[in-house]
Each structure stands twice: as structure tokens, then as C-alpha cells.
Structure 1
Amino acid sequence: MAVIQATDADFQSVLQNNERVVVKYFADWCGNCRLFSPKFKRMSENEEFAGVAFVDVNAETSPETRKLAGVTNLPFFAVFKNGELVEGTATSKEEYVQDMVRKLS
């Protein structure tokens, strides 16, 4: 599944249309965010995570969506199940993000 680009305008719709969602909050100036992008895309294409929506949100241009997950630092990852925040953390470790997504099963 391709990574979905979301903003404040459509984020609630993404949550409503997908039972399990993992969000990467980023900023254009964030080097670690850019370095994580190919890993996030690869995760979205992994069969193990079929049925999970992978979403990119620019934290600078989507303040309401950023507040919803309590973003403190970038890159920040949050997992939602049935529209509710399950967990969120700032990390650059792919294994940690994978573990977060596995908890959604």
C-alpha cells in the first residue's frame, strides 16, 4: 500500500476509513525525517503490515493533527486503532516503529 499524504483537512477521514493507522510526522527541514522516508515506504509495502494505513503528515502545516498525537519531536510516529491514539513516540529506529505497528494486530 502506498504511503498516504494527509493534512488537517483530511486526517479525520483517513482515521475513519482505516481501522489501523500508523502516522509519521515530519518537517521539510528535518534530516532524520528524510532519512526515515524510504524505510517507512518499505514498511508500507511489507506483507506483514497489510491492512495498516501508512500516513505522512507535515507537522508544520498540520497543527491540529500534530496536537491530536501530542507530537514533541521529529520524526514522531503515532499508531491509531479505530480512530483512537494507541501510542506515540519520537524515534528514528525502524525496529521500534515496526513493534508499534505490530501492537495494532
Structure 2
Amino acid sequence: MAVIVATDNDFNNVLNSNQNVVVKYYADWCGSCRLFAPKFKRMSDEEGFANVAFVDVNAETSPEARKLASVTNLPFFAVFKNGQLVDTVAASKEEAVRDLINKLTV
């Protein structure tokens, strides 16, 4: 599945349109964010995550979406189930993000 790019304008719509959502908050100047982008895209294509919507949000240009997850650092990941925040992690390790996404399947 393609990674959805969302802004404050459509973020709530994306959350409400998908049961399971993982959001990557990033900034253009963030080197770790750029390095993680191909991993995030690869995970979005995995069969095991077929029922999860992968979403990119620019933390600098979408302050409302950033507030919903209380973003503290970048890259920052948040998982939402049925529009509700489940958990977050500030990490650049793929294993930490996989563990976070797996919380949606419990």
C-alpha cells in the first residue's frame, strides 16, 4: 500500500477512514527522518501490515496533527485504532516501529 501524505486539513479524515493507522511525523531538515523513509515505505508494502494505513505527516507544517500525538522528537511514530491514539515512540530503529505497529493487531 502506498504511504499516505496527510496534513492538518485531512488528518482526521485519514484517521476516521482507516481502522488501523501508523503515522510517521517528520521534518524536511531531519536526517534520521529521511533515512527512515525507505524502511517505512517497505513496511507499508508488507503483507502482514495489509490492514494498516501508513501515513506521513510533516510535523512543522501540521501542528494540529502533531498535537494529537504529543510529538516530542523526530522521527516520531504514533499508532491509532478507530481514530484513537494507542501508543507512540520516538525512534529511528525499525524494530521499535514494528513493535509499535504490532500493538494494533492485539
TM tier, shorter chain?
Answer: over 0.9
Structure 1 partner of 2:46: 46
Q: Where do 5+ consecutive residues of structure 1 fail to align?
A: none
**TM-aligned CA deviation for residue 9 of structure 1:** 0.2
User: How far has the Cα of 1:88 moved from its partner?
Assistant: 0.8
* Residue 89 of structure 1, CA deviation: 1.5
- Per the alignment, residue 16 of structure 1 pairs with 16
Q: Which residue of structure 2 aligns with residue 33 of structure 1? A: 33
Matches within 5 A, 1:69-88: 69-88=69-88
Shift of 1:42: 0.2
- Match of 2:13, SS state, is helix
**Partners in 2 of 1:86 and 1:35 — Cα distance?**
25
Amino acid at match of 1:17: S
Q: Normalised by the size of structure 2, how large is the TM-score? A: 0.98
Identical counterparts, % of pairs: 73
What is the distance in 1 between the residues matched to 2:103 and 2:68?
20
CA displacement at 1:102 relative to structure 2: 1.0
Unaligned runs of 5+ in 2: none
Q: Aligned to 2:86, what secondary structure does the other structure show?
A: strand
For 1:9 and 1:46, the matched residues in 2 are separated by 28
CA-atom RMSD, angstroms? 0.4
- Is the 2:6–2:57 contact (alpha carbons within 8 Å) kept by the matching residues of 1? yes
